[in-house]
A and B are shown apart, each in its own frame.
Chain A
Amino acid sequence: MSELLWLIVALPFAGSLLLAMAGKHLPRLAAAIIGVGSVALSAIVMLILGLDFLHGNPAGVPIHQTLWQWINVSGFSPGIAFHLDSVSLTFVFVITFVGALIHLYAAPFMWKDEGFARFFSYMNLFVGFMLLLVLADNFLLLYLGWEGVGLCSYLLIGFWYKDPANGYAARKAFTVTRVGDTAMVIGLFILFTTYHTLNIQDILVATPHTWAPGSTIATTTAFLLLGGAIGKSAQVPLQTWLPDAMAAPSPVSALIHAATMVTAGVYLIARTHVLFELAPVVQSAVAVIGAVTLIVAGMAAIYQHDIKKVLAYSTISQIGYMFVALGVGAWSAALFHFMIHAFFKSLLFLGAGSVIAVLHDEHNMYKMGGLWKKMPVVFWTFLVGACALSALPLITAGFYSKDEIIWQAYASDKGSITLWLTGLAGAFITALYTFRMVFLTFFGKAKAEPAYRQGMGMTLPLVVLAFLSFVGGFIQLPDNMGHVTLFSHFIQQVLPATTPTGTAVIAGLPSGHAAEWIAQLIAAIVSIAGLTLAYRLYYNKPFPAAEPVRNPIQQFFFKGWDFDLLYDKVIVQPIVFFSRIDKNDVIDQFYTGLASVAGLFNKGLAATQNGKLRWYAMALAIGAVITLTILLST
């Protein structure tokens, strides 16, 4: 069974190639069948393989498959080879399964678009690259997938290329992530020069024996890899590309900018956890970056009026939670939140996409309202997603995944009170902006009429994802509530368990089950408080149907803390200025100068050649006189 592994990756690539070559000539239905079918088939193969892995392989022995030797130059010999273990399987599951649902949704969503086949070609390509990323057995192949998904993100953000703004957003996304990627590549150079291999498992096994914990080289390498991760996962300070990326069609935002690609950074850090454990400084940096990001993005989300931008900032913020979890060593909590987040965030994006589509491409929430009666399926599924996102206690999956992180931020040996408080503050903000979005969009006075009703193809994925956002949480319950550990047990085949002792114990703070109960209670109260505040401020309030007026502070948050302005002034403008001033290449000017000096001489001498006979005679005479003078005087 395990030799089918390559099929999971190959199917989307084949679909993409087919659509790219023949897409123009295929009828829409055929293109849709190829586009959706390839990912669906891939998901089926994954399910078969995954069940096999779960049942026939309790120890979690990784599956390995080498397709061919990619490069082979004196020791530099990465292969096109796959490595499937529980971490990869979790990602593959989300990518193919959620991916297939989103593809299914996208078919009717994009039906009227002239670039229908092109869209699915890009989407399939993305799925292929993303699978390559999480299945790669060596860093170079991982990097191939890594850049590949960046490319697809670029292509899909700029999918509606006729608007130059979309193109600029796409370019920004690619460039900003490339900054992080370049750091990562340098990290790979260090790894290769030290270990003479790029095989991930070999390196992970060898690192603890070669590098001392906290040594400079380990810290540097981990730091460089972190650079790649924060670029891809849109964490501070490289987060600015993701809000702009909302120029992409909604299914793209759901698949790439919520569920899968942006969590590649989480995957990378989890995958190379050994390295990060050897570099405690960097690992705390991961937690701090996550904490800062979740607040920064959360605050920005509160002041958005564009429904997709709310979700974009929310994604950044939720990935911030995952980073906090990674930073405190709660590996399985991070991955659990990744999975649950993939369910509810893609659900929210698809729901938002439905709303935007039926309201004639209206993004502004202040121009929506009262939609809950008119779009019941979208509303109820959206509400489930919103509850999960705000982590309403007990019933939602989001509660179990996020609560785990907040608790570990306190209880883990790398956790601290500050991280815990930040997490709680984030939870409050999350509930606030989420229900602000729900109340503005679905309640209050109706300001626009839906143009049409949506078919099954679009509602089915919403329902399935809503179901998953609801029950997904029950595969992993906290110690004090039922203590279900299906997920963490599965993940711990690869990643170490969280060390539960730590600051809390050392500082004499409460720990154990009692503390966990209290912490959960606090978290629950916080998120309900956020909900209540949103209800007070936004439920049924007569807002004018326009962009809200903001005071300077609100404007500052609305602009995402003005990071764009800062980068524009500090980085972009100097680069543009620098390239403008020397457009004609000062070195070329030097040669041109040299040539014009020669030309000057030429002109001067040519002037004497005036064609006048008498001048020549005169010159002869003068020359003769001078010669004679010299001759006679010596």
Chain B
Amino acid sequence: MILAWTICLLMGTGLLAWLASRWSDTLPRIISLAGILLFLGIVLYIWFGHPAGGRWIVHYTHSWISAFGIRITLGADGLSLLMLLLTAFLGVLSVLVSWKEIKTRVGFFHFNLLFILAGITGVFVSLDLFLFYFSWEVMLIPMYFLISIWGYENRTYAAGKFFLFTQASGLLMFLSILGLYFVHGRSTGIYTFDYEALKGTLMSRPTAFLLMLGFAAAFLVKLSTVPFHSWLPDAHTQAPTAGSVLLAGLLLKTGAYGLIRFVLPLFPQASHQFAPVAMILGVVSILYGAKLAYAQTDLKRLVAYISVSHMGFILLGIYAFNQIALQGVIMQMVAHAISTGGLFIIVGALHDRIQTREIGQMGGLWTLVPKMGAMGLLFVLASLGLPGLGNFIAEILILTGSFMASRILTILAALGFIAATLYSLRIMQKVFYGTVLKKWAIADFGIREMIVMGSLAIVIIWLGLFPNSILNGTQKMVQGVIEQVTITANMAQNENR
């Protein structure tokens, strides 16, 4: 029940913030902040206080549209809770970074922000496929508004592109959900969208593969895997800072989450068939994303392509089918959210101050904004995978895991380390080092911004030094997924013999 309430809490806060904008511009900000902080508190309470045992730490089910077997089934295990924690954390930061940046239609902005968070929360806890699809769409539309109303100069184009890519792939997933629903209904006579029930559905191989592709399409697009990545640089670049943070930090992660939660358990056999392709796509994403990042001159676009590269690691890790890699994937989901979020906030703050994102116009900024420079350095280092920071743990786990699955692909992926060095240090070189090109009169990070950056910095270092604190939480879930996938695969192999 508590999960349903948290979603209601977010939606309610959103409506309230919208209403409150009639009176003042600050009120919606405070209301949103309070609402998300409360949400964070609830998630922390569940995270630390959850009872041991049971597959789901929290579970709730209630009838919704019984004629079609649709129920409101919500459940959270270690992975979901971790993602909720991330959602709440980034939610707080998004409100804080928008404090000065968003000046128009403040109420509606926060309404959209909270509805995105509500949609994402729904995605992370839905155990009914219909509800999952519903949440999937709920997070999409406010994000469209966020980009198209508060974005930068080319926002309409970017928002439209984002919407088309995700909507089209989402529809493919909906077709697959319906397909699964009918296949399951025909074979058992029970028509249901329930995740647990659908998990063991018997179906022929081609059917399973086709249905799996529908799901995978949606998730790969969301994950922005090459060749479906091209919405991401535009959307990220044009979105307001909070939008970029949420896009990179959470929306991309829903793709990874979907693959782990739905594609692997629902279609273990088909996933094995798909694995070589997926791993190759992952490696291509790593290298191609890095190459594109290196070529960019728009700082925000550069950071956006870094995401493409990092998401490649996630794809590679998921389809390696072992615990080490999958734990690495989960680590990467969190670490990438933090590191890229940090970079986007820095770029946003910089754009606020100097009204440009062109790398060529910057240079020598360390002298003017040393705090920003130091923070920039930290997150740049995180993104190039420096040991001691979160991304390194993620990447080393993923690569170690995938090395057991495919040596050649892993070696190619490891070249991503070198590529990451090139594009990351380019940021430092062009933005913070060198001589001051223009006489900017700009202020360094203020207290509010330092709170935001400081908390991100602490988290990324914490992840690097004490990764166990989150890996232990997801261990059971990962073990479950891997066991299921390998057992099914072994069974299939035996059948073939």
Contact = CB atoms under 8 A, between A and B. Distances in A.
Interface stretch (A144-152, A342-350, A505-513): A144-152
A193 B397 CA distance: 12
A211 interface: no
B436 to A, nearest CB: 8
A212 to B, nearest CB: 20
B421 A164 contact: no
A20 B374 contact: yes
A76 interface: yes
A140 B396 contact: yes
Contact of A178 (B294, B410, B417): B417
Nearest to B231: A591
A143 to B, nearest CB: 6
A179 B420 CA distance: 11
A164 B422 contact: no
Nearest to B411: A186
Contacts of B475: 73
Given A162-B364, A178-B418, A585-B230, A73 B327 contact: yes
Contact of A151 (B328, B386, B418, B433): B386
B34 interface: no
Contact of B418 (A80, A147, A179): A179
Interface string A138-170: 001001101110010011001001111011101
Given A73-B471, A189-B400, A189-B410, A158 B433 contact: yes
Contact of A582 (B292, B366, B392, B415): B292
B424 to A, nearest CB: 9
Contacts of A540: none
A112 interface: no
B295 A185 contact: no
B253 interface: no
A587 B227 contact: yes
A166 B435 CA distance: 11
Interface residues of B, number: 59
Interface in B471-487: 471-472, 475, 479
A70 interface: yes
A591 to B, nearest CB: 5
Contacts, number: 139
Interface in A585-623: 585, 587-588, 590-591
Given A164-B429, A178-B421, A182-B418, A151 B471 contact: no
Contact of A578 (B291, B426, B435, B468): B291
Contacts of A170: 425
A305 B327 CA distance: 54
A583 interface: yes
Contacts of B404: 193
A68 B465 CA distance: 10
Nearest to B475: A73
A204 interface: no
Contacts of A144: 387-388, 392
Most buried by B among A162, A168, A189, A582: A189
Contacts of B374: 20
A73 B324 contact: yes
A380 B387 CA distance: 43
A75 B327 CA distance: 12
Contacts of A190: 403
B468 A147 contact: no
Contact of B414 (A70, A140, A185): A185
A80 B464 CA distance: 12
Contacts of A158: 428, 433
Interface of B: 161, 226-227, 229-230, 233, 291-292, 294-296, 322-324, 327-328, 363-364, 366-367, 370, 374, 377, 381, 386-388, 392-393, 396-397, 399-400, 403-404, 410-411, 414-415, 417-418, 421-422, 425-426, 428-429, 432-435, 465-468, 471-472, 475, 479
Given A71-B397, A171-B425, A189-B399, 16 more contacts: A20-B374, A70-B465, A70-B466, A71-B471, A74-B323, A144-B388, A147-B392, A148-B387, A154-B425, A162-B434, A178-B418, A182-B414, A182-B415, A575-B422, A587-B226, A591-B230
Interface of A: 20, 24, 68-76, 80, 140, 143-144, 146-148, 151, 154-155, 158, 161-164, 166-168, 170-171, 174-175, 178-179, 181-182, 185-186, 189-190, 192-193, 575, 578-580, 582-583, 585, 587-588, 590-591
